[in-house]
Structure 1
Amino acid sequence: MAPQQQNPDESNFKFAASFIKVITFAIALFLIVISRYAFIFFSAAMLPTIIALFFDRHTHKCASATICTFNLIGAMPYLIRLWESPSINAMAKLVIADVDTWMIIYGAAFVGQLLYMSMPLLIVRVYSAKARVQASILEKKQKQLCEEWGIVVDEQTPPN
Structure 2
Amino acid sequence: MGLLLGIMFWAVAILLIVGMIPTIVAAIVDRTKGKVRTLTIGAINFAGCAPFALEIFKRGNDLHTAISYVVQPRTIVVMYLAAGVGYMIDWAMTGIVSSIMVQRAKGRTKEIKKQQAQLIERWGVEVTGTIPLDEYGFPKEEIPAKGHDQSSS
TM range (shorter): 0.5 to 0.7
TM value normalised by structure 2: 0.60
> Hey, what's the Cα distance between the residues in 2 that align with 1:130 and 1:54?
33
2:6 paired residue number? 31
| Amino acid corresponding to residue 106 of structure 1 in structure 2 | Y
Q: Percent identity?
A: 23
| Aligned: 1:70 with 2:44 | yes
> Hey, what's the Cα distance between the residues in 2 that align with 1:84 and 1:119?
36
TM value normalised by structure 1: 0.57
Give, in angstroms, the shift of residue 49 of structure 1: 1.1
Give, in angstroms, the shift of residue 130 of structure 1: 9.0
| 3-state secondary structure, aligned to 1:60 | helix
| Amino acid corresponding to residue 13 of structure 2 in structure 1 | F
Cα distance change of structure 1 residues 87 and 60 upon mapping to structure 2, 3 Å threshold: closer
| Residue correspondence of structure 1 range 43-58 to structure 2 within 5 A | 43-58=17-32
Give, in angstroms, the shift of residue 104 of structure 1: 0.6
| Amino acid corresponding to residue 92 of structure 2 in structure 1 | S
Cα distance change of structure 1 residues 29 and 59 upon mapping to structure 2, 3 Å threshold: farther
Extract unaligned runs of 5+ from structure 1.
Answer: 1-24, 135-157
Q: Say whether the 8 Å CA contact 2:12–2:66 is kept in structure 1.
A: yes
> Hey, what's the Cα distance between the residues in 2 that align with 1:125 and 1:66?
20
How many residues get paired? 111
> Hey, what's the Cα distance between the residues in 2 that align with 1:59 and 1:87?
37
1:16 paired residue number? none
1:121 paired residue number? 95
| 3-state secondary structure, aligned to 1:118 | helix
Radius of gyration: which is bigger?
2
> Hey, what's the Cα distance between the residues in 1 that align with 2:66 and 2:12?
5
CA RMSD of aligned residues (A): 2.8
Extract unaligned runs of 5+ from structure 2.
Answer: 108-115, 119-153
| 3-state secondary structure, aligned to 2:34 | coil
Give, in angstroms, the shift of residue 77 of structure 1: 0.6
Cα distance change of structure 1 residues 86 and 32 upon mapping to structure 2, 3 Å threshold: closer
